Every structure is written in C-alpha cells, then in structure tokens.
Amino acid sequence: MQSLKIAGIVLRPDSPQIKKDFLIIKELFEKNGISVVLEKSSAQMIGQNGFELEELALDCDFLVSLGGDGTLISLVRRSFKYNLPILGVHLGTLGFLTDITVDELSGFMDELVNNSYSIDQRMMISSDIKQMPVVAFNDIVITRKDLTGMVSIDAKIDGKVFNSYYGDGLIISTPTGSTGYNLSCGGPVVYPLTDAFIVTPISAHSLTQRPLVLPVDFEIELCIKDGKGAVAIIDGQDIYELNHNETFKIKIAHKKAKLIHSLRRSYFDVLSEKLKWGENR
C-alpha cells in the first residue's frame, strides 16, 4: 500500500457545528505527518479555506468523509473518476459504511500511518440516463411519479426479454446497497465484496414477483411502459424524470469504490448491531 501523506476532507453539508470535530481530526492527522486539505464547500461552511473537489483529489493520497453514510456515498460518487481510497468517519450512530468515530480515530492512526489497514473494493453500477452518464454506489431506483398510480417496467437481460414489473417500482442494487432500500423492500442481504446485481420489485402487483440476484456480466435494460412516465433515483440523491417508452441500461461500473477500514472491523458485527440480530438468544 502507498503511504498516505495528504488527506482531502469533506464534511457533512449544512452542519457548521461540525467544525469542532474537523479541527480535532486536522490536529490529529498533522501530528502524525498527514497534511490536511479541505473541500471548498465544506470550508466555506465553517469559515476555512478550501479547494474544489477536482483540484483537491488530484493532490491527495486519500479522502476523508466526516458525517454519516449519506456523506460517504455522495463523496464516493463525486470522486469516482479519481479512484482514491476513502475513510469514513461517522458522527452519531454507527453506519454500515462509516465505522470509525472521531474519538476512535486516535487509536486508528497507528494503523493508518503504518499501512496496517484494509481497503474494501466495492462494486458500483453505471447507466446512461437522459444521455447522462451516472454511477451509483447503493442503488438505482425506478419508481412512479405520483402517489395515486403504479408504474410498469419491461426488463431485458443482454437484449432478451426477461420480465415485466408492475407496482410501485424496481430497485437495482449493489451488494453494498443491499442493506438499504433493498432490505426494507424484502430483498436479500448480500456480502458487500460480492459482485452481483440485486433486482428487487417494490410492492409488486403480483405475488409471484420476487427479488433476484444476478451475475455482473449481464447488462440489464429497462423500459418505462407507463404512460405517465417514472423517475429514476440515484443513491437517494439525484432524480431523473423518465418518459413513456424511455429505455436505459444498467451495468457494472468500470471502477470500484475503495473504502479504508480497520483490520479489526467485522462486517457481521456491524450487521448484528444495526439489525439487532441475536438479541433473542
């Protein structure tokens, strides 16, 4: 692993109170020989100087997300083309992705400076929606435009007709996103380092529709058959309106997200804590 000498830090938006935590992290990094650069919008929020993410990413060895899972997901997508490892530091409750608190970071520094950490390689998915290239870390959700109707979606795999979905929508999830909206809609939990698509209908108007796990060498093609159209939601953050008969394809992205974790971290411990598994023993 390469030595990590320069950290680019991105803060949770609309949280000026986060300045205290940022200054703690900055001092901690600098004491351990790691320079700190702050992203511009984060810097403006707390009255500091910063750089646009594009400029920052070219100069840094790794990125740091300070906030929650949403902040980390946004940073993964925004920095996708730079292929930098990202450390998620969380505030508040433990996240599925951000597993180190500000208080725990001091104990993790020896691991970080001595290259004694792991880098998870997480699958991402890509698509061209409205002729715009998009990437998703968790999921792409296709759903109805209004609350009164349902949406109809035709699906093909590698150009061959596969299924027709009719209901509240459809989730195409990565294994990382399997513990998100996919889980709440009855989809399976898939180990995050797996390469697979998870296709989960949302409140399907048929008892025979079930979640499906597919290998990533397939290309999924979706066509909106509802006359009212639909919307595509990328990682719960970006929304695109889709018209009747509009078609787009989803496939595995050509790069993976790289997340820095402590070697002591156990994904199954996180699952047990977040999902309350084993509490009735």
Q: Which residues are catalytic?
A: 69
User: In sequence order, what are the residues at sequence separation of 6 or more whose Cβ sits closer than 8 angstroms to the Cβ of residue 31?
Assistant: none
The secondary structure element, H or E, covering residue 6 is strand 6-11
Going from the C-alpha of 228 to that of each of 71, 132, 150, 154, 168, the distances in angstroms are: 33, 21, 9, 15, 13
Tokens representing 84 are 């930098």
CA distance 281 to 279: 6
Q: How many C-beta atoms lie closer than 10 Å to residue 107's C-beta?
A: 11
Burial code of 56-70, b = ≥16 C-beta within 10 A, e = fewer? Answer: bbeebebbbbbbbbb
DSSP, residue by residue, 64-132: EEEE-HHHHHHHHHHTGGGT-EEEEEESSSPPSS--EEHHHHHHHHHHHHTT--EEEEE--EEEEETTE
d(CA 147, CA 33): 54
**Residues contacting 150, CB < 8 A, separation 6+:** 144, 166, 167, 168, 205, 226
Task: Classify the C-alpha dihedral 171-177-181-187 as positive or negative.
Answer: positive
Of residues 169, 235, 241, the one with CA closest to residue 199: 169
- Are 107 and 280 in contact by the 8 Å Cβ rule? The answer is no
